[in-house]
Structure 1
């Protein structure tokens, strides 16, 4: 009874939520529906209730039927929660449909300095005092890899935030492992593996036995409904991004 009296009605805790980024290059709903059907094979739970951020950078100023888009994504297991790169005049309409605005901060381009003539260099030296000694910056904090020594079972999801993920047991069908860095699995990979979850295109996936349902690098994914690539028998496998395509290859002994 004491616990129920002292427990707060609402508690806020930090939680990591991984969302699928959906880049729209087309505003016509019929074309989007056809593309999704081809991608998912018409499977209603293909994305297994994933959260989705809709990126409209390439069609930012086109009019979109948000209610219809939300419903379309829901039909294949995607739950739209936010919109990225939308024009400001669309924000009110987006929020009216229960979606958030995902703000992306883009780096400003550097402006090259103009070449200095000898006269300008002398003038600058005359009016600029000698710089004070600058202390060396502190070393960047190293985030060690997350290590999992037990099998990842169906329905489980593991996320290595800001680091690599090392798994020494099998990843079973229906399980999902995610890392901002690379994923190393020293056992069969039968579920889903998503490396470079925050856009790291250099991330890779390694496994000793390739039987995955889905693999993804930096948001680009591949399923294997049509079968697996022909690989060298009894060899570990690496999965990496080559351009905009997933490449699966055997790691041959040196």
Structure 2
């Protein structure tokens, strides 16, 4: 009788929508690093910037805490861009949100097992809130205010918010995000790993902004020069990727 295959601490699956699902049975970055090196042959660009949803449903028991900085850094080492989580203990969700990850338990993501060696997948998942169909050019227009708890995802293009969004709302776009109203809540642009994406708002006041997986939070408040004013967020590439936030001249 043949022995059953060992259970891997991490497993990758593809979805019908093209996202990569990383099923985690271990959360310690050091332990996962050895497994990823064996699985991916040490290839630092294996995933080529694909977006991923981290699925914690495979954990035997949820840890007291997760080293989000270490975990995300490890995955990005292989050019995987984590954009969301699902099946996570509610006690740990706040930490995931602070790390710039969307909560996607209600998202329509149907995964299927990948082959023995994971195959990269091109596009991230969808999200929750109902929205008008995108225009052929790939731009999604939202002409109503987004309330707390609502999520909108512009797959494959830009997102334009004509009426702004409230704290607790979340918007994700593969391209740029343009907000002609109060920008509150969480705004994640370049979700597929596009470093050229930008976030532009006429009234800047978000809880979190992210471009291509690089994020910034504002627990200590918005800088006075841009609080409630027009501002632009873009990613500075180089040895160290950082988010630059600068005032917009709207006059």
Q: TM-score normalized by structure 2?
A: 0.51
Residue 166 of structure 1 corresponds to which residue in structure 2?
Answer: 160
For structure 1, the 5+ residue unaligned runs are: 1-12, 40-51, 59-69, 80-94, 107-140
What secondary structure sits across from 1:76 in the alignment? helix
Partner of 1:27: 30
Deviations 1:170-199 (A, max 9, x none): 211111001000000000011100000000
Q: Please list the CA deviations of residues 129-167 of structure 1 after superposition, one character each: whole Å capped at 9, or x if unmatched.
A: xxxxxxxxxxxx963310000011111110000010001
- Aligned 1:121-200 pairs, distance under 5 A: 143-200=137-194
Q: What is the DSSP-based 3-state SS (H/G/I as helix, E as strand, rest coil) of the residue aligned with 2:172?
A: strand
Cα offset, 1:219, TM superposition: 0.8
Task: Say yes or no: does 1:76 pair with 2:76.
Answer: no
Counterpart in 2 of 1:55?
75
- 3-state DSSP class of the match of 2:232? strand
The alignment's TM-score, normalised by the length of structure 1, stands at: 0.50
User: Aligned partners of 1:245 and 1:102: how far apart in 2?
Assistant: 30
Offset of 1:230 from its aligned partner? Answer: 2.9
Is the 8 Å Cα contact of residues 143 and 162 (structure 1) preserved in structure 2?
A: no
1:223 pairs with 2:223: no
Q: Partner residue of 1:36?
A: 67
3-state SS of 1:27 partner: helix
Distance 1:57 1:234 in 2: 36
2:120 corresponds to which residue?
104
Structure 1 residue 249 corresponds to structure 2 residue 246: yes
Aligned residues: 160
Give the whole-Å Cα distance in 2 for the aligned partners of 1:186 and 1:246.
Answer: 21
Structure (1 or 2) with the larger CA radius of gyration: 1
State whether residues 167 and 185 of structure 1, in contact with CA within 8 Å, keep that contact through their aligned partners in structure 2: yes
Instruction: Sort the Cα spacing of 1:190 and 1:235 in 2 relative to 1 into closer, same or farther, 3 A.
Output: closer
Aligned equivalents of 1:103 and 1:164: distance in 2? 27
Whose helix fraction is larger, Structure 1's or Structure 2's?
A: 1
Q: Given the superposition, is the C-alpha separation of residues 101 and 177 from structure 1 closer, same or farther in structure 2, using an over 3 Å criterion?
A: farther
Task: Indicate if the aligned counterparts of 1:160 and 1:178 stay in contact, CA closer than 8 A.
Answer: yes
Higher relative contact order, chain-length normalized (CA < 8 Å, sep 6+): 2
- Shift in CA distance, 177/72, structure 1 to aligned 2, threshold 3 Å: closer
* Kept in 2: contact 1:235–1:252 (CA 8 A): no
